Amino acid sequence: MLLVDDDNTTNFLNTFFIKQVDDTLEVNTSSNGQEALDFLDLHGNGTDTITPCLLILDTNMPVMDGWEFLNAFGKRFSSEFRKKITVVMLTAMDTENAIEKAMTDPSVSDTAQKPLSDLKFEMLIKKHFH
C-alpha cells in the first residue's frame, strides 16, 4: 500500500488506521506525486514484490499534485502495470467537480473524503479486494 499525501500527520493516522484493519499490510508513504513515481520506479516495475495494490492519492500537494501524478503515471507505466494498482483519490472537500474529474481518469478506481478512519479503510479494502 502506498499513501501519497504531503501532510505527515495524515500519513501517520492513515497508517495507524490501516494497521487496525490488517496489521500484516505493508504501508509506505510519499509526500508528493514525484516521490510516489520514484517509489513505483524503484519498487514496482520489476520482479520486486513490494508493488502496492492500493494507492491513496491526495489531490493537493506541492512539487507534484495528485492530478499531475495521474498524468505522469499514465504515461510512464504500462496499462498492465497500472491495472495492478487501485488508485483512490483523496480530497479534502467532497465536491462533485473533484469526484467527477477523478473518476474520468482511467487509473482512478474510487474517491474518498478526508479524514479517513479505520472503518473507511476497511470499506475500501473490502470493496476493492474481496
Owner of C-alpha cell 481518469: 105
Task: Return all residues near 39 (Cβ < 8 A) that are at least 6 apart.
Answer: 2, 28, 30
What is the pLDDT, as a whole number, of residue 130? 67
Half-sphere exposure of 54 (CA within 13 A, CB side): 24
Q: How far apart are CA 108 and CA 105, in angstroms?
A: 6
Residue 107 in this model has a pLDDT that exceeds 60: yes
Phi, psi of 84 (to 5 degrees): -80, -10
Owner of C-alpha cell 488506521: 17
Percent of the chain past pLDDT 90, that is, above it, reads: 48
How confident is the model over 11-30, as pLDDT tens digits? 999 999 999 888 888 899 99
Percent of the chain past pLDDT 70, that is, above it, reads: 91
How confident is the model over 72-103, as pLDDT tens digits? 999 998 888 888 899 999 887 667 788 888 88
**Pair 94, 65: CB distance under 8 Å:** no
**Pair 4, 36: CB distance under 8 Å:** yes
How many domains, the chain? Answer: 1
Residue 125 in this model has a pLDDT that exceeds 90: no
Residue 10 cell numbers, joined: 495524515
Domain holding 13, by residue range, is 2-129
Q: Model-level pTM?
A: 0.88
What is the pLDDT, as a whole number, of residue 57? 95
